[in-house]
Amino acid sequence: MSSTGTKVAKAAGIIMVAMVLSRILGYARDMVIYAAFGQNHLTDAYNAAFSIPDFLYYLLVGGALSSAFIPVFSGYIAKNQEEEGWRVASTVFNLVLILMLGGIVLGVIFTPALVHLLVPGFSPENQALTVTMTRIMFLQTLFMALNGISMGILNSYQKFLAPALGSVCYNLGIILVGVLLFHYYGPELGIISFAIGVVAGAIFNFAVQVPALRKVGLHYHPVIDLKHPGVRKIGALIIPVLIGLSVTHFNLFVNQYLGSTLPDGMISALRAAQRIMQLPIGVFAIAVAVAVFPTLTGQAAREERDQFKATMSLGIRTIIFITVPSAIGLIVLKEPIVRLLFQQGQFTPEDTSATAFALLFYCFGLFAYAVLQLLNRVFYALQDTRTPVTVGIVTILVNIALNFILIKPLGHGGLALAYSLAGIFNMLILLYIFRIKAGAFDGRRILHSFLLTLGISFLMGLAAYGTANIVASVVDTATKTGQIIQVGSGVTVGVIIFGLLALLLKMEEVEQVKHILLRRFGREKLRKARII
């Protein structure tokens, strides 16, 4: 195995395990909330309350980290210019802190007007509840900003464990604080306790990263050096991203607006379905993309073009190999999975059907959004933020148009389908532009891997679907035990069929996935294999 493949496998393994824990806790958080409240106006208000604070965070921090800060800071680290890098990091931190505090104050003041604009279909009482929770969640944005900058610094030093564990603590904080305060507020307002839990989770997230920051040699400077070349480069890179993020969130706001006109619970159904769809993305795709990103930035800084393309190809093929069968599996087992995960307490069979309907359409674009996690970082590593942002803006406009077209015949499922089609469009355009700018990049190899993976995933899906139906005829799927047996049998048979077919066809992506797992769990030594 090449040194690049080994490095990526090790980093991806660390992130993947932490992501699995985080997603499990994320599911536990949603399970507790939906079991207590169901899918109705209360959970719609809770989900809507994230909109404005999330917009502020992604505008000031998310875009800076994903597009500009990490490539620039990593460049200084790669060139052994750490002190200059820390001066840039300090300036970015100080600017973000000032802007974030100003944004929070303005957001809190104008929350009622913003909520009324975003969810006009909510009742006055539900809008008031949304306003209360939005104001509470504004407090988390300050700590999320600290989390984001810390993660960017640690990832630049190839330190992935602390940021990954931070996401685990985030969900754990929501659950613990939410449950502890639930009885204080009572059944009707108990949803507020989980909004407070979001703030606590963000604090825990940052606290976990502080020791790791001290170990890499934190060099904070109380300066704002706007004339520094690194700061200017970040500024130039981030401007188009800010525009792109604004358009992206405008799309989310349109979805929220349209969703508020649908029956109660549809916003929550979309949110729950999207979380399930994003599970393979969060566990595998982001793990691979985050692990590959510092390697890509280093190769770009050293102008190692062939190695850069090889790393990109490796990442895309690995992501496709994992997420295509995941999508097929979720499609064929959508209702059993949703029933197992959420149907208890106040979560009804009707809620299960609504969530499964949205999940079906979200899965069509799962692989595309997984690949985009890496593709966007490919352009950012090249310090090209305009291309993904420009394509992203066009994609959002396509998504909004599809929303209005598809919501009429498909309801909330139309919003999910529009999202998936837009993601596929975005991925294809970015691949096409990269080929024009950089030349051939193993495109045929990637396409061959995709078609082969899709073919064996289809066979896997048939086997999993048949198994689930057979099991349903002999066990009581109204009980949790029966649901676990049904889903577990379908997933097990599917994984075995997919794995055997992949091995039989000697797909080299099997080796990369195996190395990621073995690196993390340490069950045996890595065998030498030609991955790149």
Same-domain pairing of 467 and 409: yes
Residue with tokens 């991806």: 12
Under a CB-based contact definition with an 8 Å cutoff, are residues 368 and 500 in contact?
no
Domain that includes residue 284, residue range: 1-34+276-520
Please check the confidence at residue 290 and state whether its pLDDT lies above 80.
no
Residue 361 lies in a domain: yes
Please check the confidence at residue 527 and state whether its pLDDT lies above 50.
no
Of 176-180, 262-266, 355-359, 520-524, least confident by mean pLDDT is: 520-524
Residue with the bigger pLDDT between 135 and 520: it is 135
Q: Among residues 229, 220, 326, which one has the least CA distance to residue 276?
A: 326
Q: How far apart are CA 302 and CA 306, in angstroms?
A: 11
Answer with the one of 201, 231, 264 that is the final residue of a domain. Answer: 264
CA atoms within 13 Å, Cβ hemisphere of 429: 17
pLDDT, average across residues 404-422: 92
**Tally of residues, the chain:** 532
**In angstroms, what CA-CA distances link 524 with 444, 471, 506, 516?**
33, 35, 21, 12
Residue 529 lies in a domain: no
Q: State the DSSP code for 220.
A: -
Pull the structure tokens for residue 387. Answer: 């291309």
Answer with the one of 237, 264, 291 that is the final residue of a domain. Answer: 264
Quick one: pLDDT band at residue 9, thresholds 50, 70, 90?
low
Q: How far apart are CA 347 and CA 268, in angstroms?
A: 11
Dihedral-angle region of residue 80 (phi above 0 means left; psi in -120 to 50 means alpha; beta otherwise):
left
Under a CB-based contact definition with an 8 Å cutoff, are residues 345 and 38 in contact?
yes
**In angstroms, what CA-CA distances link 270 with 59, 66, 278, 326?**
23, 26, 12, 19
Residue with tokens 């051939």: 440
Mean pLDDT of the chain: 83
The one-letter code for the residue type at 85 is: G
Same-domain pairing of 20 and 53: no
Answer with the one of 231, 264, 297 that is the final residue of a domain. Answer: 264
Q: Among residues 99, 105, 141, 376, which one has the least CA distance to residue 244?
A: 376
Residue 528 lies in a domain: no
What is the predicted pLDDT for the residue at 532?
A: 33
Query: Number of folded domains in the chain?
Result: 2
Residue 498 lies in a domain: yes
What is the predicted pLDDT for the residue at 278?
A: 83
Same-domain pairing of 285 and 417: yes
Residue with the bigger pLDDT between 61 and 496: it is 496
Of 164-168, 328-332, 480-484, least confident by mean pLDDT is: 164-168
Residue with the bigger pLDDT between 164 and 174: it is 174
Q: Among residues 229, 167, 451, which one has the least CA distance to residue 324?
A: 451
Q: State the DSSP code for 225.
A: -
Same-domain pairing of 230 and 301: no
Q: Among residues 79, 217, 216, which one has the least CA distance to residue 159?
A: 216
pLDDT digits (tens, 9 = 90+) for 501-517: 988 888 877 766 666 55
- Taking the CA atoms of residue 211, residue 212, residue 213 and residue 216 in that order, the dihedral angle to the nearest 10 degrees is 130
Please check the confidence at residue 530 and state whether its pLDDT lies above 50.
no
Please check the confidence at residue 7 and state whether its pLDDT lies above 70.
no
What is the predicted pLDDT for the residue at 531?
A: 33
Same-domain pairing of 28 and 47: no
pLDDT digits (tens, 9 = 90+) for 64-113: 565 678 778 878 887 778 888 888 888 888 988 898 899 899 999 999 99
The one-letter code for the residue type at 244 is: G
What is the predicted pLDDT for the residue at 274?
A: 86
Same-domain pairing of 60 and 186: yes
Of 132-136, 387-391, 430-434, least confident by mean pLDDT is: 387-391
Q: How far apart are CA 350 and CA 341, in angstroms?
A: 14
pLDDT, average across residues 434-453: 85
Pull the structure tokens for residue 511. Answer: 């080796």
Under a CB-based contact definition with an 8 Å cutoff, are residues 427 and 372 in contact?
yes
Same-domain pairing of 96 and 204: yes
Tell me, rounded to whole angstroms, the distance of Cα 195 from its chain centroid: 20
Pull the structure tokens for residue 322. Answer: 């994992």
Helices 229-259 and 82-109, interaxial angle, to 10°?
30
Same-domain pairing of 312 and 332: yes
Q: What per-residue string of b and e applies to 141-171 under the rule 16 or more CB within 10 Å gives b?
A: bbbbbbbbbbbbbbbbbbbbbbbbbbbbbbb
Same-domain pairing of 240 and 111: yes
Instruction: Find the angle CA(507)-CA(512)-CA(516) to the nearest 5 degrees.
Output: 145
Q: Among residues 439, 438, 297, which one has the least CA distance to residue 374?
A: 297
The one-letter code for the residue type at 188 is: E
Residue with tokens 């599996």: 329
Residue 270 lies in a domain: no
Q: Among residues 166, 481, 438, 457, which one has the least CA distance to residue 307?
A: 438
Quick one: pLDDT band at residue 458, thresholds 50, 70, 90?
very high
Residue 234 lies in a domain: yes
H helix runs in 38-123, sequence order: 41-48, 51-57, 63-64, 70-78, 82-109, 111-118
Quick one: pLDDT band at residue 528, thresholds 50, 70, 90?
very low
% of the chain beyond a pLDDT of 90: 26
Same-domain pairing of 292 and 240: no
Q: How far apart are CA 431 and CA 414, in angstroms?
A: 26
Please check the confidence at residue 520 and state whether its pLDDT lies above 50.
no
Q: How far apart are CA 427 and CA 508, in angstroms?
A: 23
Under a CB-based contact definition with an 8 Å cutoff, are residues 291 and 257 in contact?
no
Residue 527 lies in a domain: no
Q: How far apart are CA 150 and CA 130, in angstroms?
A: 30
What is the predicted pLDDT for the residue at 467?
A: 95
Same-domain pairing of 228 and 292: no
| Residues near 501 by beta carbon (within 8 Å), at least 6 away in sequence | 456, 459, 460
Residue with tokens 């800060």: 69
Of 63-67, 246-250, 383-387, least confident by mean pLDDT is: 63-67
Under a CB-based contact definition with an 8 Å cutoff, are residues 65 and 151 in contact?
yes
What is the predicted pLDDT for the residue at 418?
A: 93
pLDDT digits (tens, 9 = 90+) for 182-230: 877 666 668 899 999 999 999 998 998 889 888 887 788 888 988 888 8
% of the chain beyond a pLDDT of 70: 88
Under a CB-based contact definition with an 8 Å cutoff, are residues 190 and 182 in contact?
yes
pLDDT, average across residues 124-131: 91
Same-domain pairing of 61 and 196: yes
What is the predicted pLDDT for the residue at 484?
A: 93
Residue 525 lies in a domain: no
Pull the structure tokens for residue 26. Answer: 């994320």
Under a CB-based contact definition with an 8 Å cutoff, are residues 366 and 281 in contact?
yes
Q: Which pairs with CB-CB distance under 8 Å and at least 24 residues apart come from 443-448? A: 445/313, 445/317, 446/313, 446/316, 446/317, 446/320
Please check the confidence at residue 477 and state whether its pLDDT lies above 70.
yes
Q: How far apart are CA 226 and CA 203, in angstroms?
A: 29
